[in-house]
Amino acid sequence: MLVPADRKGPHHVRILAFHPGCHDASAAVFEDYRLLAAVEEERLTRRKGSGDGVPWLAIDEVLRIAGWTRNDVDAIVSTRSFFHWHYFRYPLLRELDYAFRRAGSAPDTRLRDLMVHCQLRGTTDTLSVFRADSFLAENGFRANCRFEFANHHESHALAALFFTDWDDALLYTADGVGDNVSYSTRTLKDGKLTCDYGDDRWLVQRGPKRASIAWAYGFATEACGFKMFRHEGKLTGLAAHGEPKLAAEMATHFRIDADGVIVGDFADETAIKNTIDAICRGQTRETIAASIQKATEDVTLASVQRQLERTKTRHLGLAGGLFANVRLNRLLAESCPIDEIFIFPAMGDGGLAVGAGLCFLLQRDGLSTWLGKRHRLDNVYLGTDYNTRIDEHLAAAGARRLPGTPARVTADLLLASKAGAAYVGRMEYGPRALGARSILASPSDAAINDQLNHRLARSEFMPFAPYVLEEDADKVFEITPVNRYAARFMTITCAARPEWRSRIPAVIHVDGTARPQIVRDQENPLYAEILRNFKAATGLPVLVNTSFNVHEEPIVNRPEECLKALNDGRVDFIVTEQAVYLAPGAAAVADTRTTADTRRETAPAG
């Protein structure tokens, strides 16, 4: 249970961290090293990838979870991104101009990029550009609240390192651009953390740094008719259906320098777009997807391998939007000489809030103390806990509560070919549903893919993911010490073992791979118990897990959204920690128990 703010000792520093992005904005709160909450703005605005500068909804949500007010916050740390223009300091004449605008009758709501303003002033001293005192005073924070800024790629990197126990590591980050670079590399070795590329030294440098393979992937996504920053995962799934005929031509525009950094021959991101558009013109989306996937894999693998050879490290920590690409992560895990790989589960810019908080703690305490506070990540259930509300909300709306224990009733419904959703505890942080807001279905019938994709308005070629109990993981999938930790958060693919592929077709992609979630009882006992009941009845040790959302909507958060999905027929039932519910007025599933019992009698041995 969280301790009320006014009862905490003076040594506990209450830290608010946020990323005020133009997409994937987020907020998090720490009590010293204890991460109390983290929420992406999209879950509250209900707009996918939401980002309009400072994420006030997410900020107030995480403060509410912690039991704090804005006045309770001791320190604020933000990435350099988008703020309202009047928080910037300007040269005198510009100051007079903006003072006139502020006095005008029509409000000016435009945002400015703090990173760009630091570049224009040629400074890394962000507080010399930003009016922290005005921000604090106008938004209900104390005047003595400390305000700091964190480097974009350092925030990515520290999130990938903090939740490990490694003595040595290569930390590799990659995304579109942040603080003037698209990549960073850091080395942990002999008790020292060294940035080799991508920290604030590069913030104010001029030159052709726009060499982002992630941007190339995004523009290829647009060339396929999808949306950049949102649908790159579609290409990752679609790539298995095509031939990479364009990969070599795409890859020729990138090279690896002597230090192992990816560089390109582009002046800016427009040049990347024009090049990718020209290469992709007239090609099928399958060919484009397969080609950009292979080009990305080849270029990134060459860079990471050279970095590992240079640093002589045996662990690989990844973060940044590029590493939402689960096929790429598998290639790195299987092709690099490493002992373990870890991808921070909120790998894109939505994860920067947590990383920014960790940057603040590292700066405050020093590396030795910071490293000593690290721990492995148990779960990312970091949103609001609606367990006390969901059952009341469903009951008040007339949802039909089924008799029996939730795990047993859910297994029975799944045996009867029904698809339901788990709505349990706190919402997940990051893009993956991991059992708190997950849709569940039997993996034994490939037809469930078409049925669910139709009900959820999703693309027909997107594979579903499986979840599997920890004790069964390496029996069904090629789980090794290298990928096991990553597989707990569904951030990597691996091969399914041949003897299982025909038995669980709903979760096997056309290339024979899957993106498993390894489940342990201590994180989500109900989720594990459902699978255990299903396995006892069928001999199948996996179930479908796909995110509880409709296409183009964020994952369900509040009870109201859960109820709407049930009423709209997106799922057949909802399972909570208390009970299983059908939609109001839904016909009884009269034969569920009989069907389930029959299947139990004929199930193969587990």
Residues 399 and 548 in one domain: yes
pLDDT score, position 11: 58
Residue 398, in any domain of the structure:
yes
Q: Are 339 and 10 in contact (CB under 8 A)?
A: no
| Pair 241, 333 in one domain | yes
> Over the stretch 533-552, which tens digit does the pLDDT of each residue have?
999 999 999 999 999 998 88
* Cα–Cα distance for residue pair 163/165, rounded to 1 Å: 7
**What pLDDT is recorded for position 587?**
67
Shared domain for 339 and 389, answered yes or no, is no
Q: Is residue 354 part of a domain?
A: no
What is the Rg, in whole angstroms, of the alpha carbon atoms belonging to the chain?
Answer: 24
**Domain boundary at 129, 151, 173, which?**
151
Identify whether the C-beta of residue 28 lies closer than 8 Å to the C-beta of residue 372. no
pTM: 0.93
Return mean pLDDT, the chain. Answer: 92
- Average pLDDT over every residue of 586-603: 49
- Report how far Cα 281 is from the mean position of its chain's Cα atoms: 31
Question: Which among 162, 200, 195, 160 is positioned nearest to 180, based on CA atoms?
Answer: 200
Q: In percent, how much of the chain has pLDDT > 70?
A: 91
More confident residue, 2 or 486: 486
Q: What share of the chain is helix, strand, coil (3-state, %, to 5)?
A: 40, 20, 40
Q: Are residues 479 and 572 in the same domain?
A: yes
Question: What type of residue sits at position 567?
Answer: N
What whole-number distance in Å separates Cα of residue 534 and Cα of residue 413? 10
Task: Report the domain count for the chain.
Answer: 3
Of 602, 354, 337, 326, the residue nearest 489 (C-alpha):
326
What is the per-residue pLDDT for 92?
Answer: 60
Same domain, 432 and 562: yes
In a domain, 359, yes or no: no
Burial of 604 (0-12, 13-18, 19+ CB in 10 A): exposed
What does the pLDDT look like over 161-173, one tens digit per residue? 999 999 999 999 9
Q: What CATH number does residue 318 fall under?
A: 3.30.420.40
Query: How many residues are given for the chain?
Result: 606
Same domain, 74 and 109: yes
Confidence at 449, pLDDT banded by 50, 70, 90: confident
Q: Highest mean pLDDT range out of 228-232, 450-454, 490-494? A: 490-494
- DSSP 3-state assignment of 359? helix
Q: Are residues 107 and 178 in the same domain?
A: no
C-beta separation of 439 from 466 below 8 A: no
What integer is the mean pLDDT of 556-571? 97
pLDDT band of 485, cuts 50, 70, 90: very high
Assess whether 404 and 278 both reside in one domain.
no
| Cα angle for residues 155, 114, 52 (degrees, 5° grid) | 85
140 and 175 assigned to the same domain: no
451 Cα distance to chain centroid: 26
Mean pLDDT, range 580-594, rounded to an integer: 69
The predicted model gives 212-235 an average pLDDT of 95
* Residue range 485-501: mean pLDDT, rounded: 98
- For residue 397, pLDDT over 70 is answered with yes
Predicted pLDDT of residue 589 = 54
How do residues 69-112 score in pLDDT, each as one tens digit? 999 999 999 999 999 988 999 876 565 566 666 666 555 668 99
In a domain, 370, yes or no: no
In 507-554, beta strands by DSSP E: 513-514, 517-519, 542-547
> What is the model's pLDDT at position 595?
45
Digit-coded pLDDT (tens) for 17-49:
999 999 999 999 999 999 999 999 999 999 999
User: What is the residue range of 319's domain?
Assistant: 164-343
Is 249 a member of any domain?
Answer: yes
Taking alpha carbons only, the member of 81, 75, 29, 77 closest to residue 53 is 81
* 265 and 413 housed in the same domain: no
> Do 481 and 403 share a structural domain?
yes
Domain identity same for 130 and 189:
no
Pick from 570, 165, 186: nearest CA to 340: 165
Per-residue pLDDT of 6-20, as tens digits, reads 434 445 899 999 999
Name the band, by pLDDT with cuts 50, 70 and 90, for residue 598.
very low
Average pLDDT over every residue of 344-364: 98
Could you say which of 343, 374, 390 is where a domain stops?
A: 343
Quick check: 120 pLDDT over 70?
Answer: yes
Please indicate, yes or no, if residue 416 is contained in any of the structural domains. Answer: yes
Label the pairing between strands 75-79 and 146-150: parallel
Q: Is residue 368 part of a domain?
A: no
Per-residue pLDDT, 604: 45
CATH of residue 34's domain is: 3.30.420
Q: What is the DSSP string of 303-356?
A: HHHHHHHHHT-SEEEEESGGGG-HHHHHHHHHHS--SEEEE-SS-SGGGHHHHH
Q: What is the pLDDT of residue 453?
A: 87
Give the whole-angstrom CA distance, residue 353 versus residue 27. Answer: 5
DSSP symbol at 198: S
End-to-end CA distance of the chain, in Å? 39
β-pair partners for 185: 172, 197
Calculated CA dihedral for residues 333, 336, 337, 339, nearest 10 degrees:
-20
Whether residue 170 is contained in a domain is answered as yes
Of the candidate ranges 147-161, 201-215, 298-312, the one whose mean pLDDT is the lowest: 201-215
For the chain, what percent of residues have pLDDT higher than 90? 84
Domain end point (choices 93, 123, 151): 151
- Site of tokens 């647009």: 222
